[in-house]
Amino acid sequence: MKPRRSADELRLMLMGRLREIPDLAGQETDIDRPRSVVWMDPGDGGPNWTVRSVTDRRLYRKDIARIVVDMQLRYDLDE
């Protein structure tokens, strides 16, 4: 059983991790937006939360995606 965190806690934790990426300084990401961490159906043992994506998919960054996946593996959303 993974530790549970609120959506706001997960968002703040993600924002902290993103601040460690030097070339993101001053840039807004989907994670910076309020209510960006949302519940999703975990299906067969998958994560029960995701980050709502509103930016252009061409701006997709693997480093950010890895951080989100790492956090999904560590924490569940406390509904």
Domain boundaries, the chain: 4-77
Label residue 20 by pLDDT band (50, 70, 90): very high
Q: Report yes or no: 37 and 51 within 8 Å, Cβ to Cβ.
A: yes
Report whether pLDDT(71) > 80: yes
Q: What is the pLDDT of residue 12?
A: 97
pTM attached to this predicted model: 0.90
pLDDT digits (tens, 9 = 90+) for 26-69: 888 899 999 999 999 999 989 999 999 888 878 788 999 999 99
Cα torsion angle, 18, 6, 41, 33, sign: negative
Q: What is the pLDDT of residue 79?
A: 78
Largest CA distance in the chain: 38
